[in-house]
Amino acid sequence: MQPFTKRVVDLILAIPPGRVMTYGQIAEAAGNRRGARQVVRILHSLSASCGLPWHRVVNAQGRIAFSDEEGRFSQRALLEAEGVVFRADGRIDLAVYRHTEL
């Protein structure tokens, strides 16, 4: 496993319940500001096998980055279960829930 990948995984695992991080933020924290898509791929490929909390990762607009209807529903349900409140337009307030890596 590459260093970048490990960093990304660690960062995601370090997100406390009720908080979220954006792809770009994770990528930057992991050392590659332009690696948002890489983060996406990692999540997509490892969440299934490693039980990563993919639901705590959203796009820069505070919206669930998912094309699948079921996936979005699941993620919303999981986040709400952790205390995250969604706005009327289906977004979450990043100013409140964004987890900064210290």
List residues near DNA by CB under 7 A.
22-24, 32, 34-38, 40-41, 43-44, 47, 54, 57, 59-61, 65-67, 71
Q: Which is nearer to DNA, 18 or 24 (CB)?
A: 24
**Cβ of residue 20: shortest distance to DNA, in angstroms?**
11
For residue 92, the minimal CB distance to DNA (Å) is: 13
CA angle 37, 21, 52 (to 5 degrees): 75
Contact 5, 42 (CB under 8 A): yes
Output 18 or 32, the one with its CB closest to DNA: 32
**Residue the block writes with tokens 């205390």:** 83
CA pair distance 98, 78, nearest whole angstrom:
16
Report the C-alpha gap between 66 and 64 in whole angstroms: 6
Closest approach of DNA to the CB of residue 55, in Å: 8
